[in-house]
């Protein structure tokens, strides 16, 4: 039994081209063709059929030439949204309101409740934010500056070969072998704080200085004294409240003061300061002064042996060592 030849499949494009080739004579036929294609459009005006021969579409054949353009429909599509209706006219004039004014709910002379005042403990007032205050000795340099100022030297077990060779070359008799010396903070310090009226702007710095010295030297090795203008009258207090006067005991003495200059250049220092420097020299206690004012305002003459250091954020450990020992020798 011979097989029949397979026919080509017909798709929507074939239907569209076949319907396009149908000549229509009135708008009703054009609308029927549009409905077959699934469009509910109005009929287009009649177009005169071309004289070319009509051919059945075959997908294996070459594409046909473009058809002549048809005039677009003048009427709008029937699927356009309808125009909005005209607004409803409102009546003229103002309508009366049915609302009524209520009487005042609160009594006229009622006492203000506590929760509306500052006396309410359930809603405590927030503390005012405190601005950060820059200290005269910043944290990054305070330990180095204080260590350089309060360090003393002591003999170690290592022999100082330089001093030994120098003594042998000079044929000097030696009772003991020279030992090398090293810096130490074991001796502690005595801290004298000036709480006079001229130091009022620096009272907070005095408190911070006390904490910084405790961190470097240790609270157990530090004795804190306070005075007002007269440093030789500095004293501390026992836990029972009894005053203990200051006396040098061989430990370094660190005094934070402005020397009474109040920011002005002073020709002569307070006579009490040379007396304090003399007492420290007799006891073998190095005297270090921290002065918050720059060096050009310091007194020109001062007791020898006292180390004066600018108490400021730019002070470094090297500056302290050079001021304490210009010759480069340890104390």
User: Do 145 and 279 belong together in one domain?
Assistant: yes
User: Do 303 and 189 belong together in one domain?
Assistant: yes
Instruction: Give a yes or no: residue 330 inside a domain.
Output: no
Structure tokens at 274: 């040379």
Structure tokens at 255: 């005094």
Q: Identify the three-state secondary structure at position 213.
A: helix
- Domain CATH number, residue 260: 3.40.50
Mean pLDDT of 112-129: 68
In tens, the pLDDT along 191-210 reads 999 999 989 999 999 999 99
- Radius of gyration from C-alpha coordinates of the chain: 53
Mean pLDDT of 297-306: 81
Main-chain phi, psi angles of 19, to 5 degrees: -70, -30
Does the pLDDT of residue 59 top 60, yes or no?
A: no
User: Do 144 and 20 belong together in one domain?
Assistant: no
User: Do 32 and 145 belong together in one domain?
Assistant: no
Quote the pTM value: 0.57
Instruction: Give a yes or no: residue 66 inside a domain.
Output: no
In tens, the pLDDT along 142-196 reads 999 999 999 988 777 788 888 888 888 988 888 888 887 788 898 999 999 999 9
Report the pLDDT value the prediction gives residue 281, as an integer from 0 to 100: 92
User: Do 40 and 150 belong together in one domain?
Assistant: no
Residue with tokens 């911070």: 208
CA-CA distance, 229 to 257, in Å (whole number)? Answer: 9
Report the pLDDT value the prediction gives residue 53, as an integer from 0 to 100: 47
Give residue 26's domain range: 12-45
Q: Residue 48 — very low, low, confident or very high, per pLDDT cuts 50/70/90? A: low
CA-CA distance, 138 to 142, in Å (whole number)? Answer: 6
Instruction: Give a yes or no: residue 251 inside a domain.
Output: yes
């Amino acid at each position: 039994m011979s097989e029949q030849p397979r026919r080509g499949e017909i798709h929507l494009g074939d239907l569209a081209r076949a319907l396009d080739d149908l000549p229509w004579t009135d708008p009703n036929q054009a609308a029927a063709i549009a409905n077959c294609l699934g469009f509910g459009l109005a009929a287009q005006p009649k177009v005169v059929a071309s004289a070319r021969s009509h051919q059945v579409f075959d997908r294996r054949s070459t594409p046909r030439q473009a058809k002549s353009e048809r005039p677009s429909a003048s009427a709008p599509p029937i699927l356009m949204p309808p125009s909005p209706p005209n607004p409803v006219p409102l009546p003229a004039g103002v309508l009366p309101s049915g609302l009524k004014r209520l009487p005042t709910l609160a009594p006229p002379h009622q006492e203000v409740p506590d929760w509306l005042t500052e006396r309410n403990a359930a809603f405590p007032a927030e503390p005012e934010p405190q601005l950060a205050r820059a200290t005269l000795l910043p944290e990054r340099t305070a330990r180095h500056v204080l260590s350089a100022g309060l360090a003393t030297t002591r003999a170690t077990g290592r022999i100082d070969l330089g001093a030994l060779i120098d003594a042998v070359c000079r044929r000097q008799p030696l009772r003991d072998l020279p030992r090398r010396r090293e810096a130490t903070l074991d001796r502690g310090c005595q801290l004298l704080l000036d709480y006079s009226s001229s130091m009022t702007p620096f009272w907070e710095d005095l408190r911070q200085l006390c904490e910084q010295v405790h961190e470097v030297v240790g609270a157990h090795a530090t004795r804190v004294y306070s005075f007002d203008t007269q440093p030789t009258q500095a004293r501390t207090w026992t836990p029972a409240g009894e005053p203990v006067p200051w006396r040098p005991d061989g430990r370094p003495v660190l005094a934070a003061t402005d020397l009474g200059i109040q920011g002005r250049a002073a020709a002569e220092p307070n006579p009490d300061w040379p007396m304090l420097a003399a007492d420290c020299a007799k006891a073998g206690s190095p005297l270090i002064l921290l002065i918050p004012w720059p060096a050009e305002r310091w007194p020109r003459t001062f007791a020898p042996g006292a180390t004066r250091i600018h108490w400021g954020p730019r002070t470094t450990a090297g500056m302290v060592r050079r001021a304490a020992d210009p010759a480069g020798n340890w104390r």
